[in-house]
Structure 1
Amino acid sequence: MNFLPTLRSLVSAYQAFEHYSAPDLKGLGLTMTQFDVIATLGNQPPMTCKELGEKTLVTKGTLTGVLERLQTKGILERKMNPEDARSQMIGLTDAGQKLFERVFPAHLQHLEKAFEKLSPKQLKEVQESLNLLKDIF
């Protein structure tokens, strides 16, 4: 059970990230999940719900509700998939793309303030360690 301190550090790091990131997104009028979806769809061609789920950090059950709320706000649209009538293509509306162009760079600037405290070498080491953890699971 010598992995428990590592597990605690991992969870604490993610909680600290959320604590730093979420208020900035709230100030931009979004939740972390909404931002994740908008950031994934921004400057991209429409994609299926399955593809979107694979590219975001959002679970399938949560994704459905988030997509419905974003569609109601006029931020995204769903169209029938011409290659498979059983699925829909999801993309940003013009208003959604404008929102992406406003909030994405603003939030990245906010995050950069924290990450710039690490050297390029430290950033690479953190990335490699996180990839190693991902791969073992």
Structure 2
Amino acid sequence: MQTNFLPVLRNLVSAYQAFERYSAPDLRSMGLTMTQFDVIATLGNQPPMTCKELGEKTLVTKGTLTGVLERLESKGILERKLNPEDARSQMIGLTIEGQKLFEQVFPAHLKHLEGAFRKLNVEKLESLRASLKSLEEIF
């Protein structure tokens, strides 16, 4: 049994946990969870999309997505309309208030993340991107 990948797995999980510890408090200060931000960031400046498309473009599982959409809809951030091309599905998009929220929180959170990522030079960022892409491809 080959287990030489375990240190890589541990570093991957640790890196994600560190990212969450850095990112989540900033989003909470804006009244959002990481999942809500992911949905808002995906829908921002985009035409409405189906729930399936939204699920494919975010890091949110289908079961979690339903609850997140309901909460964001109840806050007036997004709206769901029947899909004119397929009445079995809905089109999901940001409301005017949701788009304003996106325009406020997206650049602010990117600036926060830049505080950490600017510690890496262009070559290191590209190396990390390529390594993570290789890891993604094996699964």
Shorter-chain TM-score bucket reads over 0.9
Per-residue CA deviation, residues 77-126 of structure 1 (Å, 9 max, x unaligned), is: 00000000000000000000000000000000000010000000000000
**Structure 1 position 34 matched with structure 2 position 43:** no
Partner residue, 1:7: 9
- Corresponding position of 1:130: 132
Per the alignment, in what secondary structure is the counterpart of residue 113 of structure 1? Answer: helix
Alignment counterpart, residue 68 of structure 2, candidates 42, 66, 69: 66
- Extract unaligned runs of 5+ from structure 2: none
The alignment's TM-score, normalised by the length of structure 2, stands at: 0.98
Secondary structure of 1:99's aligned partner: helix
CA deviation vs aligned residue, 1:15-35 (integer Å, no higher than 9, x gap): 000000000000011000000
The corresponding residue for 1:98 is 100
Cα distance in 2 for partners of 1:126, 1:2 equals 20
Q: If the length of structure 1 is used for normalisation, what is the TM-score?
A: 1.00
Please give the alpha-carbon distance, in whole angstroms, between the structure 1 residues aligned to 2:80 and 2:60: 18
CA distance in 1, matches of 2:134, 2:13: 16
Which consecutive residues of structure 1, in runs of 5 or more, have no partner in the other structure?
Answer: none
Corresponding residue pairs, total: 137
Residue 41 of structure 1 deviates from its aligned partner by 0.1
Q: Supply the AA of the counterpart residue of 1:7.
A: L
Secondary structure of 2:80's counterpart equals strand
Deviation beyond 4 Å, 4+ runs, structure 1: none
Task: For 1:88, give the aligned amino acid.
Answer: Q
Percent identical residues: 79
Residue in structure 2 matched with residue 81 of structure 1 by the alignment: 83
Deviation of residue 62 (structure 1)? 0.1
Task: Name the counterpart of 1:111.
Answer: 113
User: Alignment partner for residue 45 of structure 2, among 43, 46, 57?
Assistant: 43
